[in-house]
């Protein structure tokens, strides 16, 4: 499955594998300030 993770600027396609189960999606976004859908720009 492929989902889109928003990193604050754009949506990053992330391919989900069984190894990723249980991990926060923010770990796969290229940013250290991932806080979900915050409105910070």
What average pLDDT does this structure show over 9-36?
64
pLDDT-derived band at 26 (thresholds 50, 70, 90) equals low
Give me the pLDDT at residue 30, please: 59
Report the pLDDT value the prediction gives residue 27, as an integer from 0 to 100: 59
- State pTM to two decimals: 0.30
| DSSP label of 26 | G
> Is the model's pLDDT at 37 over the cut of 70?
no
* Residue 31 Cα distances to 18, 22, angstroms: 22, 19
pLDDT attached to residue 33: 55
* CA distance linking residue 8 with residue 40, whole number of Å: 7
pLDDT(16) > 70:
no
């Amino acid at each position: 499955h492929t989902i889109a993770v928003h990193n604050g600027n754009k949506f990053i396609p992330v391919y989900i594998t069984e190894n990723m189960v249980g991990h926060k999606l923010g770990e796969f976004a290229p940013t250290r300030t991932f806080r979900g859908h915050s409105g910070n720009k």
